C-alpha cells in the first residue's frame, strides 16, 4: 500500500486552471499512467461514463468540475496526492481550499487561449498561499496552438519568470512528440493510449534549434539561481544533474515557473509532466507551513513535517457521504491513528477518530494511521470547513481561509410543503460544505434567502437539492446585493424624549456622518469626540450599538449602509431618565437625520466580465455588453477569437448566458467575478426607491 512512502517521496499537488483548459482530462491521464484506473473516459464522453474525477452526475452532464476531488497515485516510488480543482469562477472557494493544503500545483493553460481571466484569478490565489507551480501548456494538437506565445503571456500577464524545459515536435495536427532540453533527447508516445514512452535522438532538422533553446533555458535559470549562475559565468561544463537541482531550487523558492507542454487528450507529454512533478515540486518538508499560536497572541509558528511532533491537521473540505460526514484533512505535523482523541480548536471539543480512509474520487481505502504530509479523510467528526485539529497539547490554528463576499441572492422555497425537512437538511449541509453559500431568513417577508457567488453557483445547489434530497425548489427573481452610502458630510442633533408613568426616557446626541476614504478596510467607523462629559462614559457604547443597528438598513432601499464614519461630539443626559436604551434609540434616530442630510446614494455590485467568441461575432458581443450598461475595458483578437473584458452591473447580467449563446451560435463563453461597488445611475435609483416604497406600503397595509 502506498501509504508508507517516505515523506521525501510525497507530493501534494493540485491541478488548477481556467474552465475548459483540460484539467480533468489531465487528471484522468495521470490516474491511467500511474495504474489507478485501467481505461480512459472523456469528460463529455460518448460512453456516458464520464471522467472518474467528476463523480457527481451534475458534473458529468455539464462537463465541468464543481467539487475538488481528491485521489492519490504512485509514480515510480513517489506517492502523489492529487486534488482536481474546479475552474469556474463561481466555485473559487473550492480552489482556495485546495490551494491552502497543497505544496505545489500544475497550472494548466490552453495552447490556443493562453492565459485567460480565470488563470489570472487562480494565479492570484496561488501567490496568496505561496504555492510553487509548473505550467503545462495543454491542447498542443489544436489548430492555432502556440507554445511560445503562451509562455510569453506568463511573463506579460502574470509576472512569472517562465522557463521552457521542452520543445514540441510539430504542432497542431502534426504534433508528434517532445524534446527534453535538459536531457537533450526526443520523446514519442506510442500505444493505443500513449502509454509506451519511446526515447530517441533529436531529429536532425531540429538539433540546432534545440541547442540554442537549451542555452537560453540555462541562461534563464542562471538568472534566478546563484549556484548555476556562478557556473554559467565561469563557462564551466554544466551537467544535467546540476540543471535539475537548480530548476528545483528556483521553482520551490517561487523564483521561476518551469513551462512544459503536451496534449492530455491525445495522450502526449503527461508522463514527462509526472517526472517533473517529482523532480521540481516540493515534498511536505520543503513547503513552509505556518500556524498561529492562540496562547501567544496569534504569533506565527512554523510547523514541521515531523511525525514525532504534536499533531496539527486542517479540515479543508466536508462532504456528506453514504456513511455520514466525510472530513478531508491535511496533516501538517505529527501523526493520527484510529481511536485517537483530537481537539477541534474552534470550539475546544474533544473527538475520537473512528475511521481514517484514503480517497480515490468517490472510492475509499481504509488505513490505520496517517502522518505529517498526508491528505486523508476521516469519518464521524463534526466540524466546519477550515477548522484546525490538534492533539490538545498545543493551541494552534492554521490561518483562516479567505472567503469572498456573496454578490447574488435568491428567495427559495420548497415546491411541496412535505419536502420541508429535506429542504432544511440540504441547506444545512451545503452551508457547512461551502462557506461562500449562505442562507438566511428574511424576517419581514418570512422567505428563505440563499446567497452565493453567481447565477451558476446557486443554480447548481438548487439542482442538487432536487437530485440528492428529492426536493423541488421554487426560486424567485435573483436579488442583487445592493449597498447604500453617503456622498457628503451630514450633521445631526437628535433629542429622544418620552414621558410615561414612572421614569421617562431622555437622551440627546449630536455629531455628523462623513464618507470614509474609498480604500478603507472597514465599512463603518465610530469616533467618540465627546469632551466635558456631556454624555457619560457608560452610555457611549450604547450610542455605538445604535449606529451599528442603523447601518444595517439604509432608508433609501433598505440595504446595508457602507463606507461611513459616525462622529459624536455633543449631547445631553438626564440624571434619572437617561438609560442605555434611550441613548441607543437616540443614536438610531440621529443617524437617520444625519443620513438624510448627507446625500445618500445607492451602490450596486459591478462584475468584471470576460467574453470569448469567434471574431465574426465581435459586433454583437460588444453591442450586448453596451446594452447591459457595460463599460468595455479592452478587446483583443487572437487566432480568430475575440476576447472582450468589461465591467457590467450584476443587475443587468441575469439571463446573459442565454443571450450570448443565441448571438454567437452557441460558440461564445464568458466568466464573471466581482470587481467593485459603484453608484447606480439616477433613473435606476429612482426606480429602486419607488419599488421599495411600494413594498413598504404593501407591508403596512397587510399589518393593518
Q: Do 322 and 447 share a structural domain?
A: no
Say what the pLDDT of residue 511 is: 94
Long-range contacts of 298-307 (CB under 8 A, 24+ apart): 301/396, 303/332, 303/333, 303/396, 304/333, 304/372, 305/7, 305/332, 305/333, 305/372, 305/373, 306/333, 306/334, 306/372, 307/334, 307/335, 307/371, 307/372
Q: Binding residue per annotation — 22?
A: yes
Q: Do 449 and 535 share a structural domain?
A: no
Comparing CA positions, the residue from 53, 70, 36 lying closest to residue 328 is 70
Top-confidence residue, 206 or 68? 206
Rounded to whole angstroms, the Cα distance separating 57 from 59 reads 5
Q: Do 265 and 317 share a structural domain?
A: no
Q: Binding residue per annotation — 21?
A: yes
Rounded to whole angstroms, the Cα distance separating 584 from 546 reads 4
Q: Do 340 and 309 share a structural domain?
A: yes
Contact 406, 399 (CB under 8 A): no
Q: Binding residue per annotation — 87?
A: yes
Contact 217, 274 (CB under 8 A): no
Q: Which of 157-171, 234-248, 456-470 has the lowest mean pLDDT?
A: 456-470
Q: Is residue 402 one of the residues assigned to a domain?
A: no
Contact 345, 310 (CB under 8 A): no
The domain boundary residue, chosen from 280, 302, 337:
280
Compute the half-sphere exposure of residue 33: CA atoms within 13 Å on the CB side of its CA. 26
- Name the strand (E) or helix (H) holding 427: helix 420-433
Position 27 pLDDT exceeds 60 = yes
Q: Binding residue per annotation — 10?
A: no
Q: Is residue 58 one of the residues assigned to a domain?
A: yes
Q: Do 126 and 273 share a structural domain?
A: yes
pLDDT band for 61, please (50, 70, 90 cuts).
very low
The domain boundary residue, chosen from 397, 424, 451:
397
Q: Do 254 and 115 share a structural domain?
A: yes
Where does 602-681 have alpha helices with state H?
Answer: 618-627, 656-663
Q: Is residue 1 one of the residues assigned to a domain?
A: no
Tell me the three cell numbers of residue 482.
445592493
Contact 83, 30 (CB under 8 A): no
Long-range contacts of 675-678 (CB under 8 A, 24+ apart): 675/606, 675/607, 675/608, 675/647, 676/605, 676/606, 676/647, 677/483, 677/562, 677/603, 677/604, 677/605, 677/606, 678/603, 678/604, 678/606
Comparing CA positions, the residue from 96, 46, 24, 31 lying closest to residue 673 is 96
Q: Residue length, the chain?
A: 704
Q: Do 197 and 56 share a structural domain?
A: yes
Where does 253-307 have alpha helices with state H?
Answer: 270-280
Q: Do 86 and 223 share a structural domain?
A: yes
Q: Do 658 and 516 share a structural domain?
A: no
Q: Do 510 and 370 share a structural domain?
A: no
Position 175 pLDDT exceeds 70 = yes
Position 365 pLDDT exceeds 60 = yes
Q: Binding residue per annotation — 18?
A: yes
Q: Binding residue per annotation — 23?
A: yes
How many domains are contained in the chain? 5
Q: Is residue 692 one of the residues assigned to a domain?
A: no
Q: Binding residue per annotation — 196?
A: no
Say what the pLDDT of residue 19 is: 61
Rounded to whole angstroms, the Cα distance separating 94 from 114 reads 23
Cα 437 to Cα 98, 396, 410, 414, 607: the distances in Å are 17, 27, 11, 18, 18
Residues 73-123 have pLDDT tens digits of 788 888 888 875 654 445 556 566 666 778 888 888 888 888 876 677 678
- Name the strand (E) or helix (H) holding 468: helix 455-469
Q: Binding residue per annotation — 534?
A: no
Q: Supply angle C-alpha 445, 449, 452, rounded to 5.
A: 155
**Virtual torsion, Cα 637, 643, 645, 648, nearest 10 deg:** 130
What is the domain-level CATH number for residue 678? 3.30.70.240
Question: What does the pLDDT average to over 412-416?
Answer: 87
What is the domain-level CATH number for residue 377? 2.40.30.10
Q: Binding residue per annotation — 86?
A: yes
Residues 119-128 have pLDDT tens digits of 776 787 777 7
Q: Do 244 and 228 share a structural domain?
A: yes
What is the domain-level CATH number for residue 469? 3.30.70.870
Top-confidence residue, 7 or 43? 7
What does pTM read for this prediction? 0.64
Position 258 pLDDT exceeds 90 = yes
pLDDT band for 44, please (50, 70, 90 cuts).
very low
Q: Do 164 and 40 share a structural domain?
A: yes
Q: Binding residue per annotation — 211?
A: no
Say what the pLDDT of residue 392 is: 79
Sheet containing 355-360, strands listed edge to edge, beginning at the edge strand earlier in sequence: 349-352, 341-344, 388-390, 312-321, 324-333, 375-379, 355-360, 363-367
pLDDT band for 404, please (50, 70, 90 cuts).
low
Position 630 pLDDT exceeds 90 = yes
Helix 207-224 with 226-233: angle, nearest 10 deg: 120
Say what the pLDDT of residue 53 is: 43
**Helix, strand, coil shares of the chain as percentages rounded to 5?**
35, 35, 35
The domain boundary residue, chosen from 363, 397, 431:
397
Beta-bridged to residue 314, according to DSSP, are: 330, 388
Cα 6 to Cα 3, 245, 252, 380: the distances in Å are 9, 20, 19, 28
Share of the chain above pLDDT 70, in %: 87
Q: Binding residue per annotation — 20?
A: yes
Say what the pLDDT of residue 49 is: 38
Q: Is residue 231 one of the residues assigned to a domain?
A: yes
Give a three-class secondary structure readout of 304-338.
CCCCCCCCEEEEEEEEEECCEEEEEEEEEECEEEC
Contact 17, 125 (CB under 8 A): no
Q: Which domain holds residue 387?
A: 289-397
Q: Is residue 693 one of the residues assigned to a domain?
A: no
Contact 238, 248 (CB under 8 A): no
CB within 8 Å of 493: residues ≥ 6 apart = 508, 509, 510, 570, 590, 593
Q: Is residue 19 one of the residues assigned to a domain?
A: yes
Q: Which of 85-99, 266-280, 554-568 has the lowest mean pLDDT?
A: 85-99
Share of the chain above pLDDT 90, in %: 27
Q: Is residue 697 one of the residues assigned to a domain?
A: no
Q: Which of 164-173, 322-331, 393-402, 621-630 has the lowest mean pLDDT?
A: 393-402
pLDDT band for 403, please (50, 70, 90 cuts).
low
In 3-state terms, what secondary structure has residue 155? helix
What is the domain-level CATH number for residue 534? 3.30.230.10
Amino acid at each position: 500500500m502506498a501509504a508508507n512512502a517516505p515523506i521525501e517521496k510525497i507530493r501534494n499537488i493540485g491541478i488548477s486552471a481556467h474552465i475548459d483548459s483540460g484539467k480533468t482530462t489531465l487528471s484522468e491521464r495521470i490516474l491511467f499512467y500511474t495504474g489507478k484506473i485501467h481505461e480512459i473516459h472523456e469528460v463529455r464522453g460518448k460512453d456516458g461514463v464520464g471522467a472518474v474525477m467528476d463523480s457527481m452526475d451534475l458534473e458529468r452532464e455539464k462537463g465541468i468540475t464543481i467539487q475538488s476531488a481528491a485521489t492519490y497515485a504512485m509514480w515510480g516510488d513517489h506517492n502523489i496526492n492529487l486534488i482536481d480543482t474546479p475552474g469556474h469562477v463561481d466555485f473559487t472557494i473550492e480552489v482556495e481550499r485546495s490551494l491552502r493544503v497543497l505544496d505545489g500545483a500544475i497550472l494548466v493553460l490552453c495552447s490556443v487561449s493562453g492565459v485567460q481571466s480565470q488563470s489570472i484569478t487562480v494565479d492570484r490565489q496561488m501567490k496568496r498561499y505561496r504555492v510553487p507551480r509548473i505550467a503545462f501548456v495543454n491542447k498542443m494538437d489544436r489548430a492555432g496552438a502556440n507554445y511560445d506565445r503562451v509562455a510569453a503571456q506568463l511573463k506579460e500577464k502574470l509576472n512569472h519568470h517562465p522557463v521552457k524545459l521542452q520543445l514540441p515536435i510539430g504542432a497542431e495536427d502534426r504534433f508528434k512528440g517532445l524534446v527534453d532540453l535538459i536531457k537533450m533527447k526526443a520523446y514519442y508516445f506510442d500505444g493505443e493510449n500513449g502509454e509506451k514512452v519511446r526515447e530517441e535522438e533529436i531529429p536532425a532538422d531540429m538539433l540546432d534549434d534545440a541547442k540554442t533553446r537549451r542555452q537560453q533555458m540555462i541562461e534563464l535559470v542562471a538568472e534566478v539561481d546563484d549556484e548555476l549562475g556562478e557556473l554559467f559565468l565561469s563557462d564551466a561544463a554544466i551537467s544535467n544533474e546540476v540543471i535539475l537541482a537548480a530548476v528545483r531550487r528556483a521553482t520551490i523558492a517561487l523564483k521561476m515557473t518551469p513551462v512544459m507542454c503536451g496534449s492530455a487528450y491525445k495522450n502526449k507529454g503527461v508522463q514527462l509532466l509526472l517526472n517533473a512533478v517529482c523532480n521540481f515540486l516540493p515534498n511536505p518538508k520543503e513547503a513552509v507551513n505556518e500556524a498561529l499560536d492562540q496562547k501567544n497572541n496569534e504569533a506565527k509558528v512554523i510547523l514541521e513535517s515531523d511525525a514525532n511532533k504534536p499533531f496539527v491537521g486542517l479540515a479543508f473540505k466536508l462532504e456528506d457521504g453514504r456513511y455520514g460526514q466525510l472530513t478531508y484533512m491535511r496533516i501538517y505535523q505529527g501523526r493520527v491513528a484510529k481511536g485517537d482523541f483530537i481537539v477541534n480548536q474552534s470550539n475546544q471539543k474533544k473527538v475520537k477518530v473512528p475511521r481514517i480512509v484514503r480517497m480515490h474520487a468517490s472510492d475509499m481505502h481504509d488505513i490505520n494511521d496517517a502522518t505529517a504530509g498526508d491528505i486523508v479523510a476521516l469519518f464521524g467528526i463534526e466540524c466546519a470547513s477550515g477548522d484546525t485539529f490538534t492533539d490538545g497539547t498545543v493551541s494552534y490554528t492554521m490561518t483562516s481561509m479567505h472567503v469572498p463576499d456573496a454578490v447574488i441572492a435568491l428567495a427559495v422555497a420548497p415546491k411541496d410543503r412535505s419536502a420541508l425537512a429535506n429542504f432544511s437538511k440540504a441547506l444545512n449541509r451545503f452551508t457547512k460544505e461551502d462557506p461562500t453559500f449562505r442562507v438566511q431568513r428574511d424576517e419581514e417577508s418570512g422567505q428563505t434567502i440563499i446567497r452565493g457567488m453567481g447565477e451558476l453557483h446557486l443554480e447548481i445547489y438548487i439542482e442538487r437539492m432536487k437530485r440528492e434530497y428529492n426536493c423541488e425548489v421554487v426560486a424567485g427573481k435573483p436579488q442583487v446585493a445592493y449597498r447604500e452610502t453617503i456622498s457628503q458630510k451630514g450633521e445631526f442633533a437628535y433629542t429622544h424624549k418620552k414621558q410615561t408613568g414612572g421614569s421617562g426616557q431622555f437622551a440627546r446626541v449630536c455629531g455628523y456622518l462623513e464618507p470614509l476614504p474609498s480604500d478603507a478596510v472597514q465599512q463603518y467607523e465610530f469616533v467618540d469626540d465627546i469632551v466635558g462629559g456631556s454624555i457619560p462614559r457608560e452610555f457611549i457604547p450604547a450610542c455605538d450599538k445604535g449606529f451599528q443597528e442603523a447601518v444595517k438598513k439604509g432608508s433609501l432601499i433598505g440595504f446595508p449602509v457602507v463606507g461611513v464614519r459616525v462622529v459624536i461630539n455633543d449631547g445631553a443626559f438626564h440624571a434619572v431618565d437617561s438609560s442605555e436604551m434611550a441613548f441607543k434609540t437616540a443614536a438610531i434616530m440621529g443617524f437617520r437625520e444625519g443620513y438624510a442630510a448627507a446625500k445618500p446614494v445607492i451602490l450596486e455590485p459591478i462584475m468584471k466580465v470576460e467574453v470569448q467568441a469567434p471574431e465574426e461575432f465581435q459586433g454583437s458581443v460588444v453591442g450586448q455588453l453596451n446594452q447591459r450598461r457595460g463599460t468595455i475595458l479592452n478587446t483583443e483578437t487572437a487566432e480568430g477569437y475575440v476576447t472582450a473584458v468589461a465591467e457590467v452591473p450584476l443587475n443587468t447580467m441575469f439571463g446573459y448566458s442565454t443571450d450570448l449563446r443565441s448571438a454567437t451560435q452557441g460558440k461564445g463563453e464568458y466568466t464573471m467575478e466581482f470587481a467593485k461597488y459603484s453608484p447606480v445611475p439616477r433613473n435606476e435609483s429612482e426606480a429602486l426607491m419607488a419599488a421599495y416604497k411600494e413594498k413598504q406600503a404593501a407591508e403596512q397595509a397587510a399589518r393593518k
